[in-house]
Structure 1
């Protein structure tokens, strides 16, 4: 691995946890150059909801490339874009009664967030955007400004302004009614909170530690925004495209955000693609006012359209929810067996977290899992959560295998853990 050490920037991160050179991948497994297979419960940080190299998506992509079709098109009209937009309307927007314009802001999720923030400020003429504790929305400056993680924010090098942070669902442990602080600040002319342009929220915080907002909380937030003339932005970059069960993570709450950000599994194949969905009356952009060189990657349109074939009917949603229930039960069994080490279980659909009581345990569990052939990552402000994002297409046997490895890894780490001071052997 000398070439990586010599030439690649010190900013690299995932490779430090997984010291392997990966070469091929198929379905729920990824293989290193020596042929060793790993069960992938990381899924490209939520980018590979349909697994690696899904055969239907791959066939469509290879046929498109073999035909010398357009690959790069900025925002020109192309047949690939037309087919994607038609299918997105027919399969996603139409059946859900959603009336959105589709903006192609650039290749990544942070591009979708930047476009949403700029549009909200342009439309309302106001500057402040409200975000929530432990939020993560991206690594560019606007997205960082509405992100909670201190380590990520410190990398900006400049002040991150024009935002205000409010407590997320459950942040105050139920001691204070939801939105009491937010409502009070909005109503008090002496609070110092400028009237916000928008609120941006994740219904399930992936990077923040799998903290979830129940449907009632989401509906209350939507009502609050409507009362005060504030736009509601839902960041569905990691939890959209079926990760929580329905295509959009907010569907079960019955709300309709003003703006929705999508990326990650949108292309279905790991190809860069992002969308910013906006209510038609918000579409006040001037031509070219927000653009980018790679906002029209046609192979991504092809695989995204093919991925929507998997969403005909309710099969994928119901399968995801059933698999998620199985994962939850397994994690609850692990937690019950190690109450001194595991604080609880969080998640929804096929996004789950095992919350540990002490710093350092979750990374060690992920390390032990890697040694046993399972890829997972940590999340949360102190990396205290082991995060599971198996492909939505994972089989029952693959889920059982991965959950078994996780249980073994937790046991291995906890068995090597020093006994707490209360037991008379010093603090762990």
Structure 2
């Protein structure tokens, strides 16, 4: 009997081999609302991926959608580069009133372009300009973006290799607990700074994620972050916190560094700052660092007004009462941790362990292939969950902050089932 293979899709014949997520979830998605996404065949999936953190408020959030439709229907300006618009003014006013002032922050706001790596590139460029130095210190397992400057401070060897040229002026240091507590915090880093023979040029800045999402959900302790901030101040280095994925409430507070009580010199935001999943990024910095000449760092898509509109609506809806949003996220996080603890206890011989903060959690096993197999099984059971870490060894939970308690429980039970069936080697439901 001759079996006719299905014809390759337009994605396979025309789209580049670089495509990624579609290989893990080989369906064609069509509609989405809240925490559920539907493929073109009508199957529904619960989303624990949230656009890699770009959809903190869920798919097609109705409040944000209404604001966007109203703006478009009145022919509001869509593209404006960095010209002044009513949409930009409204965003800046609400961002100042609801985010910056309540936290005692006086940072200036820069629109560097539409993506997280744009925000990081601007941060690195500004730090070097202010300090007159080239070196930037980053950390093991860091991820800061895919453009060359951001790659130079990213740890993943596969992603770095894609640059095709040497990645220079970046020096990695051990992230919190890299040596499992056997080495005092910053011992190596500070010794290199002190030693005239170390070969480490005086850095302009240090860039850090408070929770390394792509690096495997590695959570820095508040005391470690405070120690880092102190080291930067004593050694005349700027502190850059990359809050692209962990900002906008992902860890509970609006900024992920608030729990540690530190104030970074420079902050990068993207992903969920636009609210609706529309491209938008910010680079925030203390006023004394605003040494840019007009037009010295520019770009065509700095003024994406639809994103300003949905970003403003998100701030008004979820951050006018930030305590309520924070408490809900922490409660959902506790709900998540409780089930992950049960999963770990159910598989004592696998070395299972969990870690996280707020609504970002990771589940890891000694067998580095488990996460990918469990992710694939979860997809078959109707749950989207990605992997992270240098070997894709961590299941990464990133549900929307607006997910209901019932939806979260449904997804966590599906995850537990996927892990159980992976352990048992089952292929049937």
Give the alignment's TM-score, normalised by structure 1.
0.97
CA deviation string 1:65-97 (max 9, x = no partner): 000010000000000000000000000000000
- Confirm whether residue 127 of structure 1 aligns to residue 111 of structure 2: no
Secondary structure of the residue aligned to 1:24 is: strand
CA deviation string 1:31-75 (max 9, x = no partner): 011111100000000000000011110000000000001000000
Q: Structure 2 residue aligned with 1:163, among 170, 179, 196?
A: 170
- Alpha-carbon shift at residue 190 of structure 1 (Å): 1.1
Aligned to 2:320: 312
- Aligned CA RMSD, in angstroms, stands at 0.8
- Confirm whether residue 360 of structure 1 aligns to residue 375 of structure 2: no
Aligned to 1:4: 11
Q: Structure 2 residue aligned with 1:332, among 341, 346, 351?
A: 341
- Confirm whether residue 413 of structure 1 aligns to residue 418 of structure 2: no
Larger mean CA deviation between 229-238 and 339-348 belongs to 339-348
Matches of 1:333 and 1:380, distance apart in 2: 22
Aligned to 1:172: 179
Gaps of 5+ in 2: 1-7
Aligned to 1:273: 280
Matches of 2:351 and 2:117, distance apart in 1: 32
Alignment of 1:66-145 (within 5 A): 66-145=73-152
Matches of 2:95 and 2:351, distance apart in 1: 41
Aligned to 1:394: 403
Q: Structure 2 residue aligned with 1:36, among 25, 43, 54?
A: 43
Secondary structure of the residue aligned to 1:241 is: coil
- Confirm whether residue 384 of structure 1 aligns to residue 384 of structure 2: no
Matches of 1:217 and 1:57, distance apart in 2: 37
- Alpha-carbon shift at residue 174 of structure 1 (Å): 0.5
- Confirm whether residue 403 of structure 1 aligns to residue 412 of structure 2: yes
- Alpha-carbon shift at residue 343 of structure 1 (Å): 2.8
Whether the aligned pair in 2 keeps the contact of 1:244 and 1:350 (CA below 8 Å) is: yes
Matches of 1:169 and 1:79, distance apart in 2: 43
Secondary structure of the residue aligned to 1:5 is: helix
- Confirm whether residue 189 of structure 1 aligns to residue 206 of structure 2: no
- Alpha-carbon shift at residue 356 of structure 1 (Å): 1.4
- Confirm whether residue 235 of structure 1 aligns to residue 237 of structure 2: no
Matches of 2:388 and 2:365, distance apart in 1: 11
Whether the aligned pair in 2 keeps the contact of 1:340 and 1:357 (CA below 8 Å) is: no
CA deviation string 1:274-323 (max 9, x = no partner): 00000001011111111111111000000000000111121110000010
Matches of 2:275 and 2:145, distance apart in 1: 20
Gaps of 5+ in 1: 418-428
Matches of 2:295 and 2:257, distance apart in 1: 30
- Confirm whether residue 249 of structure 1 aligns to residue 256 of structure 2: yes
- Alpha-carbon shift at residue 339 of structure 1 (Å): 2.1
Whether the aligned pair in 2 keeps the contact of 1:342 and 1:354 (CA below 8 Å) is: no
Aligned to 2:66: 59
Matches of 2:217 and 2:158, distance apart in 1: 18
Secondary structure of the residue aligned to 1:30 is: strand
- Alpha-carbon shift at residue 342 of structure 1 (Å): 4.2
Secondary structure of the residue aligned to 1:56 is: helix
CA deviation string 1:2-25 (max 9, x = no partner): 111110000001000101100110
Q: Report runs of 4+ in structure 1 exceeding 4 Å deviation.
A: none
Give the alignment's TM-score, normalised by structure 2.
0.96
Matches of 1:139 and 1:128, distance apart in 2: 19
CA deviation string 1:72-131 (max 9, x = no partner): 000000000000000000000000000100000000000000000000000000000000
